[in-house]
A = this chain, B = another copy of it.
Amino acid sequence: MLQFALLAKSLLQLSSIRLHANHPSLSCFDAALCSWIVLHSLHHSYVRKAPAVCLASGGRLPPRCLWSGRCPGDFLEIFGNVVEKCPLITAAVWSARPFATLADMEARIAEFIDSLPAAGKAGILRCHPDLAGRDLQSGTLTAESEQEQVVAGLRSLEPADATRLRRLNLQYKERFGYPFVICAGLNDRAAILRQLAERFANEPQRELPLAIEEVKKICCLRLRRIVASDIKL
């Protein structure tokens, strides 16, 4: 295994991939994985994507993302929309870089959100679009939201379901002052409709933290998707 690690190190150096100075040392297992993917990527002429390998070993962030962390602009370009239309949150947690693992970055984002007053949390929710709303119809959703809503089947609703969702959405917004937010990536349209009806009955003090937990779930999925797209060699 040690030989594998040394081989990986040499290959990383050879292919001009320098790990970030603050990045935790590679374990032998990480290095073994690195070596495999570097070899694989060299073979397929995808050397530039090889740094992402570290994620493959248990959610550790790829060095590319750590490097990006050195410049807030690049960092924002990659992670700016992990919380819908709230680059402020990503930009705030940049102060806590580098992140040793993906879970570490997720935790910092969650901490920042939790530190906001109730109005700030409601503000995050208000930056979210309606589910199956006018933005989905007119194509003005963010790329992330559109993908999530389409995968959850919200573009192909039966007319009766579409009408029901629109009515419930409106009632929910009237009651709570923000749109209904649910992690569409973890729910299909039937579950979304059911939960919307259920959560509408909640007291506002109970509903706000529930909705914020959904924001965190969406954020985690978006983060994982960004990083996963980086390791497809």
Cβ of A155 under 8 Å from chain B: no
Comparing A43-51, A115-123, A145-153, A183-191, the segment that makes contact with chain B is A115-123
Across the two chains, which residue of chain B brings its CB closest to A122?
B95
Across the two chains, which residue of chain B brings its CB closest to A120?
B92
Which residues of A72-89 have CB atoms within 8 Å of chain B's CB atoms?
72-73, 76, 85-89
Which residue of B76, B123, B177 is within 8 Å of A88 (Cβ)? Answer: B123
Measured CB to CB, the closest approach of chain B to A140, in angstroms, equals 11
Cβ of A124 under 8 Å from chain B: yes
Per the bound structure, the CA–CA distance linking A76 and B173 in Å amounts to 14
| Count of residues in A whose CB is under 8 Å from the partner chain | 34
Per the bound structure, the CA–CA distance linking A173 and B70 in Å amounts to 10
Which residues of A81-128 have CB atoms within 8 Å of chain B's CB atoms?
85-96, 112, 115-120, 122-127
Cβ of A180 under 8 Å from chain B: no
Measured CB to CB, the closest approach of chain B to A61, in angstroms, equals 19
Across-interface contacts of A123 in B (CB, < 8 A): 88-95
Across-interface contacts of A122 in B (CB, < 8 A): 91-92, 94-95
Query: Provided the pairs A88-B88, A92-B120 are in contact, do residues A72 and B115 lie with their beta carbons within 8 angstroms?
Result: no
Query: Provided the pairs A72-B126, A126-B72 are in contact, do residues A88 and B89 lie with their beta carbons within 8 angstroms?
Result: yes
Per the bound structure, the CA–CA distance linking A94 and B127 in Å amounts to 12
Across-interface contacts of A116 in B (CB, < 8 A): 92, 116
B85–A127 CB distance below 8 A: no
Per the bound structure, the CA–CA distance linking A96 and B89 in Å amounts to 21
A126–B86 CB distance below 8 A: no
Which residues of A146-201 have CB atoms within 8 Å of chain B's CB atoms?
173, 177-179
Question: What are 10 A-B contacts defined by CB distance under 8 Å?
Answer: A86-B88, A88-B127, A92-B116, A93-B123, A94-B126, A94-B177, A95-B118, A95-B122, A95-B177, A115-B117
**Extra inter-chain contacts (11) besides given A73-B126, A91-B126, A95-B119, CB under 8 Å:** A72-B178, A72-B179, A86-B87, A86-B88, A87-B127, A91-B125, A92-B117, A93-B119, A94-B177, A95-B123, A112-B119
Please give the residue numbers on chain A whose beta carbons come within 8 Å of chain B beta carbons, in ascending order.
Answer: 71-73, 76, 85-96, 112, 115-120, 122-127, 130, 173, 177-179
